[in-house]
Amino acid sequence: MRVGVFICHCGNNIAGTVDVAKVAEEARKMPGVAFATTYMYTCSEPGQDEIKEAIKREKLDRVVVAACSPRMHEVTFRRTVAKAGLNKYFFEMANIREHCSWVGEDKELNTNKATEAIKIAVEKVKQNKPLFPTSFKINKRVLVIGGGVAGMQAALDCADGNLEVVLVEKSPAVGGMMARLDKTFPTVDCSICVLGPKMVDVGQHEKITLYAHSEIEEIKGYVGNYQVKLRKKATYVDWTKCNGCGTCMEKC
């Protein structure tokens, strides 16, 4: 196994408080690491080209980039290694900017921490297995939990998009906390002026099935194919005639 480690300066963001040359030197001593180098901006086009060229030249089969947060550029670097012929999951990222260089000004401590972060990423990438995209059928029904104004709007948006929606509300009526307000920001309209039409739309929409006075008892399955068990609380209301007005709460 041949791991390549690419350490980004990120201008002065990392290199200002981390000795990147020393980190690269320490990385070369790590088991499995065949190549380690630094670059001013690894996320730039020339920086990505450097990674692709090194993968081919050094015959690398795993890649670690020590740079900023994976939230910023993980997708960028996965795409880069894929273009060089590697499975994009033979890549790991060590965050040595937010987790090291931006934490404090002690260069020695930051450098040691960055070295440890890279060591962890190297060990992780050595264990990675190739992954491949796949496709499967999904159940085009949507479960919305909570019948407040946000839940009702989400249900209506999905239903208007031609999706079958199940809306579950634990209270006997929809409306949530907003129904208790007098006026709403920024129009200073009464809350029921906003909620009323939405409640009617939810109750009358052919794509929405409302289960009020109900709670989630069990969820199993996976994304796109969940199985959900509901528990409907005991009530004397004829739910086929319920319009969500909440009068039953006052009477009981």
Structural domain spans, the chain: 3-127, 141-244
| Residues 197-251: tens digit of each pLDDT | 999 999 999 999 999 889 999 999 988 899 999 998 887 777 677 766 767 767 7
Which residues of the chain have a pLDDT value below 50?
none
Nearest Cα to Cα of residue 125 among 92, 85, 86: 92
- Considering the four listed CATH numbers 3.40.50.620, 3.40.50.720, 3.50.50.60, 3.40.50.2000, the one that applies to the domain covering 141-244 is 3.50.50.60
Q: Is the N-terminal amide bond of 31 cis, ω within 30° of 0?
A: no
Alpha-carbon Rg of the chain, whole angstroms? 27
Q: How far apart are CA 217 and CA 64, in angstroms?
A: 43
Fold of domain 3-127: Rossmann fold (3.40.50)
pLDDT digits (tens, 9 = 90+) for 36-45: 999 999 999 9
Give the pairing of strands 164-168 and 141-145.
Answer: parallel
